[in-house]
Structure 1
Amino acid sequence: MAHVLVVDDSSTMREIVASFLSKNGFEVAIATDGRDGLLKLQTDPGIRLVLSDINMPHMDGLTMAEKIRNDLGNRDVRIVMLTTEDNPNMRARGKAIGVTGWIVKPFRGDAVLGPFRKFCDMA
């Protein structure tokens, strides 16, 4: 079972983030867009943290987060947006949906290891 689900339509970004997290003790699953992310979350109850881009085909990250909270009723999983978007309105929408955090790319993994471990009960 995965602790972290990385959702990004960029295969390069998925690989960078997944590789970094794996090397630091996380079990990682990947998804190619929000729709794929929802399916992975439904089939893997071990996921504790979702790291998601916003701008993706088929389903964007904020819509996926909204569906995680409302359609799946999942309030336990932490959702962190990992995106180039730094728009205050998008951040406000994310907060209203129940997004836990917001990281603006580029990804600087060392800075987030502590909080991510706590999210995944690995502290």
Structure 2
Amino acid sequence: MSDHKNYLRAIRLINIEDDKCDFETGKIPIRQHINANYFFAQTDVSTLEKIPHPAPRRQYVITLKGKLKFEVSNGNTFIIEPGVILIANDTLGFGHTWEIIDGNEWERIYIPLEADADDYFTAD
């Protein structure tokens, strides 16, 4: 990708048929203003690790520390670590699971998106 300095790597969770979800890889532009009103930090990993769940809302998930393996409900997997932005857009159905694969911490920032906000994701 010749324009990699103008984008951040991203993975977007998406709803597909039969109440399942999948993901797509791509990018989001840097210096892009996002239509969001608040954000919050999270470090707890005990509540949802390895438990299937959809995203509670459309949101960016910015990993600060940790390396995780996500599995979507159709069986596909991917790795999230600092430097890769997760866009959780799988708000229906069975959703996804995750587990920490390096260490025992996951520090992250959630940025909920307004209902009609563009997520600025471009698929590979």
Instruction: Classify the TM-score, shorter chain.
Output: under 0.3
Greater relative contact order (Cα 8 A, min sep 6): structure 1 or 2?
2
- Bigger Rg, structure 1 or 2: 2
TM-score if structure 1 supplies the norm length? 0.26
TM-score if structure 2 supplies the norm length? 0.26
Query: Larger % of helix: which?
Result: 1
